[in-house]
Chains A and B, each alone.
Chain A
Amino acid sequence: MIELIKDIESRFNTSDYIQKLKHLAFITVEKKQAISLVTYLRDYHKYSSLTLLTAVDWIEEGKFQLTYLINNPQNFTEIGVRVMIDRENATMESSHHLWENMATYQRELREMFGIDFPGSPRIEENFILEGWDNIPPYRRDFDTKEYTENTYFPRPGRESNDPATYMKSKMYPND
């Protein structure tokens, strides 16, 4: 896997290479080169299978981190190509031409995180939520508890304890 990474680093603007497991590595690439790196891995290094495309909300840094996790079925290795994109007006190039199931992941990300992939098939359609009119629910500034209390009808009498303070009061009542 080291040779592969060296090959990638000689061709693309990459950073933050992490070898998590023997067969699993992550590499961060700049936004412009992301789709070409994924295409390069697919066409020249037999990473022919898309495991998933997912996003992480780094709200403090104002970024979304996209991960294209792609798999090589011949030597059972997996590479996660990470891209940081801006949180404001989040858009990313669509890569539905590489794998058919990519379009479904992109629809999901658009609905759950509000990341747009212009040109992706059926991107405008509802995926899971129907008629959602709030901020996308997987964004970290969406307060799911507050939304639930305002939208649904919580049954009164339900109490929940913060585990830290509850256990402290149970175990060290004198403190």
Chain B
Amino acid sequence: MEKNNIHKFEELDVDKFLAPENEKRSVLAPDGSIVEIDPLKDYFCQDRPEELKPRSGPVEKFLNWARAESLWVLGFGTGCGSIEIPPLVTPRFDMYRYGVQMRPTPRQSNVFIISGYLSVKTLKRAIRSYEQMPSPKYIIALGSCTINGGMYWDSYNTINRLDHYIPVDVYIAGCMPRPEALLAGFAKLKELIKAGKAENANEYARNFDWYKANQKKIIKDWNMPDFNW
């Protein structure tokens, strides 16, 4: 398709997508010396993720039991499904009784609910949040949009299959699933963790290049390090 009539940015040597806070700069240290800072190298870890080796039999079993009984969910709503989360916290469905609770930052949580459709712009934020979560981490994909694109399957700006970008542990089908379905999803996730089958953080580390290639195919203004945690 011929690309005519588009107003383009002028081609520059510098990275036009680099956010201002990530630019190289020199800073005055308290002792009077001047320190060069390159935030993309200094503030982020550029190492590849590593696989987490399971401990020996009973220890791993105990750890899995402990992990399953305290699921801390990242408070990040991506689509229309995020409206299903507030009823879960309130007394009618009350997810606290299953050891599930909400956390405000990725560093404090180990479950990420992708609640509905993901636009490319949101996917970028979701990937950053997912990579910042400490391992072991689990993903629940909510709604049909995360499975095959749902009603947005032919939209120019929403992804079709979530599992090509980040690994998914539990899918909850529906448009939208009710809070009961989410509770069933948590129960399923607990089952998987206790059985030692929810190892998708390792899966992500193993197939890191494949996931990164898929992500970079659609996120064209990649103005962050390859791996940020």
**Interface hit among A39-47, A77-85, A128-136:** A128-136
Q: Are B153 and A154 in contact (CB under 8 A)?
A: yes
Q: Are A152 and B7 in contact (CB under 8 A)?
A: no
Q: In the assembled complex, which residues on chain A have CB atoms less than 8 Å from the CB atom of B219? A: 130-131
The answer to whether the Cβ of A60 comes within 8 Å of any Cβ in the partner chain is: no
Q: Are B5 and A148 in contact (CB under 8 A)?
A: no
| Distance of A124 Cα from B10 Cα, bound (Å) | 11
Q: Of all chain A residues, which has the CB nearest B221?
A: A131
Q: In the assembled complex, which residues on chain A have CB atoms less than 8 Å from the CB atom of B4? A: 135
Give which listed residue, A110, A130, A153, contacts B161 with CB less than 8 A. A153
With both chains docked as a complex, state the minimum distance between the C-beta of A165 and any C-beta of chain B, in angstroms: 18
Q: Are A147 and B156 in contact (CB under 8 A)?
A: yes
* Also in contact, A154 and B1, with CB within 8 A (given A110-B7, A114-B7): no
Q: In the assembled complex, which residues on chain A have CB atoms less than 8 Å from the CB atom of B7? A: 110, 114, 116
Q: Are A137 and B160 in contact (CB under 8 A)?
A: no
With both chains docked as a complex, state the minimum distance between the C-beta of B216 and any C-beta of chain A, in angstroms: 11
Mask for B111-124, Cβ within 8 A of A = 1, else 0?
00000000011001
Q: Are A135 and B3 in contact (CB under 8 A)?
A: yes
Give which listed residue, B1, B124, B154, B217, contacts A144 with CB less than 8 A. B154
| Distance of A80 Cα from B1 Cα, bound (Å) | 34
Mask for A110-139, Cβ within 8 A of B = 1, else 0?
100010100000001010111111111100
Q: Are A135 and B1 in contact (CB under 8 A)?
A: yes
Give which listed residue, A128, A135, A154, contacts B121 with CB less than 8 A. A128
Q: In the assembled complex, which residues on chain A have CB atoms less than 8 Å from the CB atom of B1? A: 134-135, 141, 143
The answer to whether the Cβ of B53 comes within 8 Å of any Cβ in the partner chain is: no
Q: Are A129 and B160 in contact (CB under 8 A)?
A: no
Q: Are B5 and A114 in contact (CB under 8 A)?
A: yes
Chain A contact surface mostly:
loop
Residue of A124, A137, A152 with most chain B CB atoms under a 10 A cut-off: A152
The answer to whether the Cβ of B85 comes within 8 Å of any Cβ in the partner chain is: no
With both chains docked as a complex, state the minimum distance between the C-beta of A15 and any C-beta of chain B, in angstroms: 26
Give which listed residue, B5, B6, B17, B154, contacts A131 with CB less than 8 A. B17
Q: Of all chain B residues, which has the CB nearest A141?
A: B1
Mask for B147-166, Cβ within 8 A of A = 1, else 0?
11100011111111100100
The answer to whether the Cβ of A88 comes within 8 Å of any Cβ in the partner chain is: yes
Q: Of all chain A residues, which has the CB nearest B160?
A: A152
Q: Are B160 and A155 in contact (CB under 8 A)?
A: yes
Q: In the assembled complex, which residues on chain A have CB atoms less than 8 Å from the CB atom of B97? A: none
* Also in contact, A155 and B3, with CB within 8 A (given A130-B124, A130-B220): no
Q: Are A155 and B161 in contact (CB under 8 A)?
A: yes
Mask for A74-112, Cβ within 8 A of B = 1, else 0?
000000000000011110000000000000000000100
Q: Are B6 and A151 in contact (CB under 8 A)?
A: no
| Distance of A90 Cα from B5 Cα, bound (Å) | 8
Give A contacts to B, CB under 8 Å: 87-90, 110, 114, 116, 124, 126, 128-137, 141-145, 147-148, 151-155, 158
Give B contacts to A, CB under 8 Å: 1, 3-7, 9, 17, 120-121, 124, 147-149, 153-161, 164, 214, 217-221
- Going nearest first, the 5 A-B pairs with the smallest beta carbon separation are A131-B221, A131-B220, A155-B148, A152-B160, A144-B156
Q: 15 interchain pairs (CB within 8 A)?
A: A90-B5, A116-B7, A130-B121, A130-B219, A131-B17, A135-B1, A135-B4, A137-B157, A142-B156, A143-B1, A144-B154, A148-B149, A151-B218, A152-B158, A158-B153
